[in-house]
Structure 1
Amino acid sequence: MSKTLQSVLIFLVSLVVPPLVLMVISLASGGALAPAVALIIGAVFGLGYGLEASLLCSYELSTGQGWLELLVDLTWSLPNTVFGFIIGNIVYVWFGSPSRTDSDGQGWIVFSPRPGSSFGRKVLQTLGTVNIGGAGQHEKMHLLQARIFGPLYLPFVGASYVVTFILQVLWTVTLGAILKLLGVRQKAHLEPPARSAVGGFFGWIYYATPIELWAYASGNP
């Protein structure tokens, strides 16, 4: 299948599927989301995402895996895809630009960092299907996690950060502070291992979340 045909199919599927998914949600919820609103939101998102993903030819539709990734991203994992598309494009555009080379057939949209930008080089990030920096530092694992957990992924990540933040604060102001006063520890707060992309007080909060523990355990190519 030619790249041109794949791009056309990516665009058409992206334009059609999200409105249908939101219409189903509207009907299943008894009209909590008005059908007309569902169609408009789905169509606007589908148009934007379809244009970007098709121009970058993000999905390899000559394989079953590529079709599965596209359909999962636009159905089960749609909340993550919408979140990543909106936030990723708002934030990452300041640090890089969409890369056809890194996105082509890879199942996601990759922003290549600009020269001199540490964000996307030293620190990589993936939001839904939108990434900055490419596949290093286990970023593909976060893409897989979003596809596995679907609509549960973002609430789970948010709750995880709340829990690790509370644990870090409680340790720091209690046992950690006592051990530092006794000279047993140099710092009261817990610190992540050296391989963590983020260090210091907030680094442990980031590293100790289940999604990061899982991702780091899977390897760090």
Structure 2
Amino acid sequence: MVAGIVSAVVHVVAGATLGGLAAGPVGLLAGTVAGLVPGAVFGGAVAATGVYPRGPRGVALFLVDHTWSLPNTALGAVYLALHLAAGHTLDAPGSRHACRVSVVEGVWPRYATTLGTVCAGSNPRIQRHEDTHILQARLLGPLYLPLVAANYVLFTVLPVWWLWHDHAGAPIDRIRRYFEVGVYPHVWHEAHAYRVQGRPPR
């Protein structure tokens, strides 16, 4: 319960601070509201599912997620709010003491997607892959999202991955596969996660 309340407060304070710095009193109000809604949803999920266990590991990861990696956590909170607004379901057993918030349904039927500390549509077979993204975000903090976005843009317009791509095992014969088996599995954060667990989609 305490972790959930603190989490919500951190989101509100962060939103209010950024809003105030950007646009004075009006920004302060807007930032407070912007932080309150996803912060309350995320904090509620943390409290309801017991995401962070008691003890050094849980405390340390909570602190990382709400300081150094707060931009990632905040994006995850918005992502979680959108899932719940769409009628998706919290995976309470999968979230408990996992230091992540899990959602049963994913964005797309075939894929799990992780943003910040929120993982949607995963299962035990691929959970290590998704947890690797959470670890990447925690290690890189505010650098993580810009580095991910930059790599996607670079590999989309300049496909240097073509040089080492497995063309026989994963042929690229239409535009969709250019992104699905070309760009996507070769960007740095996905390539690393696939090295940790399993092969990319074919």
**Contact 1:72–1:147 (8 Å) recurs in 2:** yes
Gaps of 5+ in 1: 1-7, 176-188
- Tell me if the contact between 1:96 and 1:113 (Cα under 8 Å) persists in the aligned partners: yes
Tell whether the 8 Å contact from 1:14 to 1:46 is kept in structure 2 after alignment.
yes
Structure 2 segments unaligned to the other structure (5+ residues): 171-175
- From 9, 12, 20, the equivalent of 1:19 is 12
Going by fraction, where is helix more abundant, 1 or 2?
2
1:168 aligned to which of 159, 168, 175: 159
The Cα of 1:91 is off from its aligned counterpart by 4.7
TM-score by length of 2: 0.75
Number of residues of Structure 1 aligned to a counterpart in Structure 2: 189
TM-score by length of 1: 0.69
1:56 to 31, 40, 49: 49
* Code of the aligned partner of 1:218: V
Separation of aligned partners in 1, 2:26 and 2:149: 24
Match of 1:128 in 2: 116
Closer, same or farther: CA 134–128 of 1 in aligned 2, 3 Å: farther
Max Rg structure: 1
Give RMSD over aligned pairs.
3.6
Q: What are the residue-to-residue correspondences of 1:37-76 with 2, within 5 Å?
A: 37-60=30-53, 62-76=54-68
**Which structure 2 residues correspond to residues 72-151 of structure 1 after superposition, within 5 A?**
72-91=64-83, 96-113=88-105, 119=109, 122-132=110-120, 133-134=122-123, 136=126, 138-151=129-142
Partner of 1:126, secondary structure, is: strand
Q: Quote the Cα distance in structure 2 between the aligned partners of 1:52 and 1:10.
A: 10
Percentage of pairs with the same residue: 30
